[in-house]
A = this chain, B = another copy of it.
Amino acid sequence: MGGASCGRARVGDVAAWIDAWAAPVAAEDVPLAEAAGRVLAAAVQAEADLPQLDRAAADGFALVADETMGAGAYNPLPFRLVPASAGVQPGHAVAVESGDPLPAGADAVVRLEHAAPDVPGIMAIIAPVAAGNEVERAGSHAARGGVLVAGGRRLGPGEIGLLGAADVARVSVVGRPRVRCLLAADRQPRATHDANGPMLAALVERDGGVMVGRRHVKRSRAVLRDALGSPEADIVLVAGGTGPGAGDTAAAALADTGELAIHGVALRPGETAGAGRAAAGGVPVFLLPGTPPACLWAYELLAGRAIRRLAGRSPTLPFATREMRLGRKIVSEIGMTEVCPVRCNADGQVEPLAPFTETGLVAAAEGDGFVIVPEASEGYPQGAPVTVHLYP
């Protein structure tokens, strides 16, 4: 085990720290057409029955069900076609299409295929129906005052359609947490380019946040301290400058200006990550390592959890999971949460790829997903069942 985990927070401890304060940001009203993917801030109730009126559920003829008794292919019963406005009197029927209000006096709809034209103005019915046949009753989807969509629900196409059908034009949704990103530049030229900026932008967008600022700053304690002094955001991400070296000043700058709650996490990649609060308003700050894979996984397991909570979403990792068997063993250090890139084989097994520490983000681009080996585990033998998080 060695000294690698000494003094480091566990991933679960960081999650608990986040969960203690991270609540959805203030709600905002948006037009329904722009609400897809957002989280409802409160339940939406039906202002009227849905549907508001009894209506036809199929194309056909609205009539009185009792009058179709005995109808059949060898006993077609004639009905006089009248306009909907006339209402349905005995012996009459009204041509309707799916969704039309049920004409007054009618209690059922006979589908088109169970009717045959007779002389003009007369339709012959060739099958009996019961009252309510192919009729959607007023309030059968939702009763006035009932909950249409629960608070906290993420609005997918189905919810959007339902709210539109209920004539809801605007909805109150959890706001997008405003994220400011400080990319702490190197103290000297390096062989790496700006991977973290666009990567963090994609992550924040995916998790429901909005990047209100993303700038490169000098990796200097004074510069970072100044930048943290006016966060003007709901959360700040600092990428780079987290290590123990002399030029790695993010933690010192955060301690100067507010509170350094966590520095060093038993997470690989990502062990130099940290977190705390800027003094100004107590805005939460996450310190992410500058090495791209470490930045990615410190975001996913730590900062992302906070942003997802601020956005009203589930704090868990936003990946589908599947239980699979390992085609080859995974070795992990006890005391460290390790993220292991994997590929799914044709035979339904999952193979570990070379770790992020060896091949960087190539391991993400070539893989199908990842397996998280918790601190208490030293890995899994070949054939062991593991939970695979799958990239979309």
Cβ contact within 8 Å between A165 and B97: no
Cβ contact within 8 Å between A245 and B59: yes
| A87 adjacent to chain B (CB < 8 Å) | no
> What number of copies of this chain does the assembly contain?
2
Cβ contact within 8 Å between A156 and B391: yes
| A244 adjacent to chain B (CB < 8 Å) | yes
In the complex, what distance in Å separates the CA atom of A99 from the CA atom of B364? 19
Q: List 18 A-B contacts (CB under 8 A).
A: A32-B198, A33-B198, A33-B201, A51-B192, A59-B243, A84-B188, A95-B245, A101-B190, A157-B296, A158-B296, A160-B202, A161-B198, A161-B295, A162-B195, A165-B192, A165-B360, A165-B361, A320-B321
Contacts of A234 in B (CB 8 A): none
Q: Which residue of B lies closest to A271 (CB)?
A: B58
Contacts of A166 in B (CB 8 A): 193
In the complex, what distance in Å separates the CA atom of A187 from the CA atom of B245? 74
- Listed in ascending order, the chain A residues whose CB lies under 8 Å from chain B are 3, 32-33, 35-37, 50-53, 55, 57-60, 84, 95-101, 112-113, 136, 140-142, 148-150, 153-167, 186-188, 190-203, 205-206, 243-248, 272, 289-293, 295-296, 299, 320-321, 357-362, 364-365, 390-392
Among B3, B136, B165, B196, contact of A161 (Cβ-Cβ < 8 Å): B196
Contacts of A37 in B (CB 8 A): 202
The 8 tightest CB contacts between A and B, nearest first, are A158-B364, A320-B320, A161-B199, A36-B202, A59-B245, A164-B195, A162-B361, A165-B195
